[in-house]
Amino acid sequence: MNDTPTKKPDLAATTKGVGKLVWEETIPLNEGLSGVEIIGNFVKKLPNSPGVYRMFNKSGDVLYVGKARNLKKRVASYAKMGGHTNRIAKMILDTVNMEFITTHTETEALLLEANLIKRLRPRFNVLLRDDKSFPYIVITDDHAAPGVFKHRGARAKHRDYFGPFASAGSVNRTINAMQRVFLVRTCSDSVFDSRSRPCLLYQIKRCSGPCTGEISNDNYAKLVQDAKRFLKGKSSDIQTQLSGQMQKASEALDFETAAMYRDRISALSQIQSHQGINPHTVDEADVFAIEQKGGMNCIQVFFFRTGQNWGNRSYFPRADKSLEPNEVLGAFISQFYDDKPCPRMVLLSHEIDDQALLGEALSTRMDHKVAFHVPQRGEKRELVQHVATNAREALGRQLAETSTQKILLEGVREAFDLPRTPKRIEVYDNSHIMGTNAVGGMIVAGAEGFVKNQYRKFNIKSEDLVPGDDYGMMREVLTRRFSRLVKEYGLPKHEEETGEDAPEMASIPPWPDLILIDGGLGQLNAVRGVMKELNIEGVVPLVGIAKGPDRDAGLEKFFVHGKPSFMLPQRDPVLYFVQRLRDEAHRFAIGTHRARRKKAMIRNPLDEISGIGPGRKRALLHHFGTAKAVSRAALTDLKAVDGISAQIAKTVYDHFNENG
């Protein structure tokens, strides 16, 4: 029997939104078989039903995830000799095990396939590299005076969400416009509850002041309703309504009110004129176009909601060079909508496989009809062509940047005498003020520039460190980082060691090929000590970067163990590149430190009291106004607060009166 470890999915998470599934696990019949032979053994036991299959290599890594209308027929195609592309042939050759999930319908199989690909990231699948969630606008209808906010993440009930927007900037511009037109509040609930007089936004006519009763609840509710209508594409109706109200106020000689309506109409007109592309025949749609060149793919997506352009975003999915544009686009879209809402219309630059099936699957998930189209004429065709132009331009920029990056990485290899051109560079820096709120930062760079979804922050936890001990902080950061790396991935293996060819557009490896330390010989020796303790000394090249005299850029001194320190020519592009890496690490560490320091500064003293959660904290602050007033309160006054028992009151009182 084969004891190959397998990475099974968490079915509870994987099958969310999919019908009832039947899990089937089979194991190879003969130890040592692989490729066509092992797949042929599986075919004999497979059902003629829809489902999802996974192919594993000898290390237990998932090579490929696929779906099928008929599992037996689909997997049988892999058991045939010849007729496969080089990519598929290599995948078959590496396969030593397979696992299957049967579903009731092919639609369920399609949804499950997309979910598994995103979670397992198989080597031979097209992979959507999406490290950012989309921002939305949320209106908090669960509050007496709803606010308008930017939102990312999970959604709550009793709130209206509008989006997605392509970027936070698009959301911010829309919210700013809504402040001018609808005077809706954007302050947090805690600020709203603590106001005793209107804020500056009320004074400059960006808010109607519901916090202090400057507007009645009924009238404010009408403003919120207008804001929702605007986000639903009814801006023309709202403009007509405002014009009528301005005319009535003017006829009644209420010129101040008329002027207010005039300003709101002007702001609304400005929004409408700055929306960019506003199609007349497309109310709600996502528009996708793909461009291929130089072994890379760029997929551009534009979001149209309520007849307005809500921005666009470029994606560069990882895919084999042999795949056609429609194959890449189809795989991308099924993953793209795995965790995002889908509009009623999706416009494409290419026909994709399973187009009707994908529309059916998304219609089931979204509870509304989803239609895919490849327009051939008219305004929709012009939209797709515009998106395709953006994809072509974005890919051109990416290719130029990637080419430059490869040259620089090759220069790094030569400058530091590395055994291979680095695919992953990690740069470490610490930040603190007199030892307080100390953090370590790690940034990552690769062949395509900074890889921000790989950045890591380390809150310094050791209580034995002397405040300001940079060497000790660096030891803690590197110990935590590499002890975990060894535990999760083992020692690094390179292509020349395994005898395998690197897959096309391979994702960045977990192990670095170079570590840059922001510091001189002392920091470098501290890191070497960590590597020695973890028994990985010499596995990854280490370089220390000491700032020049007076911290002048261009005079940096580099330290490598076993070699004398050296400098790079001042106009060497590699020097500029290393400086940029170091500065990015410094920026990230400083930003993380400032965020931690700010959080510490605004921490409420009540947070330190055991048994005081958000509810009791809110009750105390509502009763006394401030935490300082709570600290001065008598025990009898604390007992009088709703929701505060005698025992909790005693705990609060003792916390602030330890010497009493």
DSSP 198-258: --HHHHTTS---GGGTSS-HHHHHHHHHHHHHHHTT-HHHHHHHHHHHHHHHHHTT-HHHH
- Least-confidence region, from 199-203, 436-440, 455-459, 548-552: 548-552
**pLDDT tens, position by position, 575-622:** 989 999 999 999 998 888 787 777 665 566 777 787 788 788 888 888
Closest CA to 102 of 23, 25, 44: 23
**pLDDT tens, position by position, 88-107:** 888 988 888 888 888 888 88
**Amino acid identity for residue 523 in this structure:** Q
- Structural domains of the chain, with CATH: 11-120 (3.40.1440.10), 136-273 (no CATH), 285-397 (3.30.420.10), 417-491+508-597 (3.30.420.340), 605-656 (1.10.150.20)
pLDDT for residue 542 is more than 90 = yes
pLDDT at 190: 83
Bridging pattern class, strands 436-446 and 456-459: antiparallel
CA dist., res. 17 & res. 335, Å (int): 14
**pLDDT tens, position by position, 196-232:** 888 898 888 889 899 988 888 888 988 888 888 777 7
Residue 173's pLDDT band (cuts 50, 70, 90): confident
**Amino acid identity for residue 179 in this structure:** Q
pLDDT for residue 29 is more than 60 = no
Residue 22's pLDDT band (cuts 50, 70, 90): very low
Q: Which residue has the higher pLDDT, 434 or 562?
A: 562
**pLDDT tens, position by position, 340-349:** 888 889 999 9
Instruction: For residue 233, count CB atoms less than 10 angstroms from its CB and return exposed for 0-12, middle for 13-18, buried for 19 or more.
Output: middle
* pTM score of the predicted model: 0.63
**Amino acid identity for residue 158 in this structure:** H
pLDDT at 554: 65
pLDDT at 5: 38
Closest CA to 312 of 245, 256, 250, 393: 393
Residue tagged 């009898």 (tokens): 636
CA dist., res. 422 & res. 543, Å (int): 13
Residue spans of alpha helices (H) in 341-425:
355-366, 378-415
- Tell me the sheet residues that pair with 286: 303, 346
pLDDT at 512: 94
Residue 281's pLDDT band (cuts 50, 70, 90): confident
Residue 353's contacts (CB-CB under 8 Å, 6 or more residues apart) are 326, 327, 330
- Least-confidence region, from 45-59, 104-118, 374-388, 585-599: 585-599
Work out whether the CA dihedral 157, 159, 165, 170 comes out positive or negative.
negative
**pLDDT tens, position by position, 299-315:** 999 988 877 777 788 88
Sequence length of the chain is: 660
Tell whether omega for the bond before 341 is within 30 degrees of 0, i.e. cis. no
pLDDT for residue 339 is more than 80 = no
pLDDT at 605: 72
Q: Where are the beta strands (DSSP E) in 485-585?
A: 514-518, 542-546, 557-559
pLDDT at 319: 86
